[in-house]
Chain A
Amino acid sequence: MSNAVTAVSASPAANDGKSVPARLGEAFVGRLVIIIPYLWLLFFFLVPFIIVFKISLSQTAIAMPPYTPVLDFRDGISGFFAGFGELNFDNYAWLTQDALYVNAYVSSVIIAAISTLLTLLVGYPIAYGMARAPAAIRPTLLMLVILPFWTSFLIRVYAWIGILKPEGLLNQLLLSTGIISQPLIILNTYTAIFIGIVYSYLPFMVLPLYSALEKMDHSLIEAAKDLGCPPTSAFWKITFPLSLPGVIAGCLLVFIPAVGEFVIPDLLGGSQTLMIGKTLWNEFFANRDWPVSSAVAVILLLLLIVPIMLFQRAQARAQEQDR
């Protein structure tokens, strides 16, 4: 089908009277526009990744920089390649020897998955309400979702310490109204981490959900109602499947950064919280073991690439459905 579309659109272009060089020029500009994002990825993703990967194959040393071999051209090209023989995968083997790393990865994924689910549960009704609101106030609602970004992320997470701590605002409120008689211990627990992640990442969930729900044709629901379908099953049979691309996009936008999250567990979580971001920090700063921390980072990246690939496949499928 897509081939047919290109064929149709291409044929008038071939006859629009433009000269061959002009068309070649357009093609060149088109290529250039595509090349820019590739260059961006090359310089800001692939090159740093190769550097990190190379360090992960090195060994620690008490030196500047603190690993060996350092591949450079000080001894010419041959000096550069001489270091290659010293590279090996020992650091990756090390990660499998101590259960700590596997546990940290697993626990990060679980914390991120639970937080993503909670964010979806909170975000969906908000996005739904926004999409069903009168068109005139929708931009205002959208603005309100984005508004928290005006304040630093760090300050907003700090603010939660003031709210959740034993003598904090939440406990003062609950104690003064007599709902509880003992202050709730929320700060420095997993609950606080979930609250922090749900709060911080909510806009990333609401925005894709909103854009999916807003596009939906409301007459489908009316048709379902006319045909005697109860509202709940109309939601599950029509609204939810149609919003699925938004659900997937939102979940990935929350899940991926949450796996590597460091600030929220550090500030709101307790010391017992085991997350890969903290483990990486320890390797890098406390042990000064740049090679092992690079290996941890490479594995984390691989761990995150899988959901991104799933997301891309889902998007490709959704685009095909649109056509």
Chain B
Amino acid sequence: MIRKALWLSATSALLALLASGAHAQDRVVNVFNWSDYIDSSIIDDFTKETGIKVVYDTYDSNEILETKLLAGGSGYDVVVPTASPFLARQIQAGVYQKLDKSKLPNLSNMWGEVADRVAKFDPGNEYSVNYMWGTTGIGYNTKKVKEALGIDTIDSWDAVLKPENIAKLAGCGVYFLDSPTDIVPTALNYLGLKPDSTSPDDIAKATDLLLSIRPSIRKFHSSDYINALANGDICVAVGFSGDLFQARDRATEANKGVEIAYAIPKEGAEMWFDQMAIPADAPHVAEAHEFINYMMKPEVIAKSTNYVFYANGNKASQPLVSKEILDDPGVYPTDAVLAKLFTVGPYDPKTQRLVTRSWTKVITGQ
């Protein structure tokens, strides 16, 4: 976390420096996006085409982004929060400005299916445009899972949410996301309850389920699992699809015989969306719109998808996405699986506190 804090202070200092150093006639856009989330040639191409200089900063958690935005005066023009619960809550808090859709002609390229789902968090898609989306599923080391469970592929949450199954995996190591807003809905969905339930009884049931598998989980962490899985230190991680694809690629590059696969379990999984939005106090609003419009060009966003291995919300880009990615059901799920994916809205403060408190009980036993 210190690393994040240091990055943050360093990048914001740099930003201030660059922003003040730029001449009045230079056009600048300050973009704040997730780390490892873009093919950097896209940024160069944008500057070449429009003459707008991009100051590109990264973060690796929604919480860090949210804290900066809530404090105000962040100086960023384009940010990429996750739709739920972050973007939805931030819209309520008055963090963003409405998009000027007349400046975003490329909106016609977007994918209705994704925009409709996002509308649950951003009614009428007034504040944001989809960048990438994915799922929260299971990444695993195929060889070690076969040794432990005797199965070739994981296709169900049974593998990690049934105490007797996960106990067999405990020896080779299981990590879970340290994120109650992802794991609690997943547990609720597995129990056949509503994933977005706010009933204390339902949350208690999910907590009990998680407590029953707790002894077999080695660590709860939201980023460590990429390296741990790729290095073969652990055999299963419940995490974000794109991170797990990164682990798969790193393992392939290292060529040490570690093979990683990703599964969207058949019971369904949480679907998340990272959305481009413009803060209310953004200093370069016109440039921000140009940047977002540029990112909606089919060839640009396809290039980004080919680099990061996430699905994007741009229908027109699909013919340009590499076949290997488009045909991977872990990235672009089939319609049947897509129907099973669920989303969860932001919790009210009382439920949020209950969920965080239950989560602390799960991970620390207190």
Instruction: Give me the interface of A with B, judged by CB distance under 8 Å.
Output: 60, 62-66, 98-100, 103-104, 154, 165-167, 188, 262-263, 266, 270-274, 279, 281-282, 284-289
> How far is B356's CA from A103's CA once the two chains are assembled, in angstroms?
17
Contacting pair B178 A271 (CB below 8 A): yes
Known: A271-B178, A282-B360, A287-B353. A64 touches B69 (CB 8 A): yes
Contact of B364 among A188, A273, A289 (CB under 8 A): A273
Find residues 69-111 in chain B having any chain A CB closer than 8 Å to their own CB: 69-72, 89, 92-95
Most B-side CB within 10 Å, residue of A166, A263, A288? A288
> How far is B244's CA from A181's CA once the two chains are assembled, in angstroms?
32
Most B-side CB within 10 Å, residue of A60, A99, A263, A272? A272
Find residues 212-256 in chain B having any chain A CB closer than 8 Å to their own CB: 217-221, 231-233
Residue ID in chain B nearest A154 by CB atoms = B3
Contacting pair A271 B217 (CB below 8 A): yes
Contacting pair B180 A62 (CB below 8 A): no
> How far is B357's CA from A116's CA once the two chains are assembled, in angstroms?
30
How close is A110's CB to chain B, nearest CB, in angstroms?
A: 14
Known: A62-B92, A63-B93, A66-B93. A285 touches B363 (CB 8 A): no
Asked whether any CB of chain A lies closer than 8 Å to the CB of B366, the reply is yes
- List the one stretch of B59-67, B136-144, B320-328 in contact with chain A: B59-67
How close is A284's CB to chain B, nearest CB, in angstroms?
A: 7
Contacting pair A64 B352 (CB below 8 A): no
Instruction: Give me the interface of B with A, judged by CB distance under 8 Å.
Output: 1-3, 6, 61, 63-64, 66-67, 69-72, 89, 92-95, 173, 178, 180, 217-221, 231-233, 349, 352-353, 356-357, 359-360, 363-366
How close is B256's CB to chain A, nearest CB, in angstroms?
A: 11
How close is B40's CB to chain A, nearest CB, in angstroms?
A: 24
Lowest 5 A-B CB distances belong to which pairs?
A285-B63, A271-B220, A271-B363, A263-B2, A274-B364
A66: which B residues are within 8 A, CB to CB? 70, 93
Q: A285-B66, A286-B359, A287-B349 are in contact. List 9 more A-B contacts (CB 8 A).
A: A63-B94, A64-B70, A65-B72, A154-B3, A188-B218, A286-B180, A287-B356, A289-B349, A289-B353
Known: A65-B71, A188-B218, A284-B67. A266 touches B1 (CB 8 A): yes
> How far is B89's CA from A241's CA once the two chains are assembled, in angstroms?
59
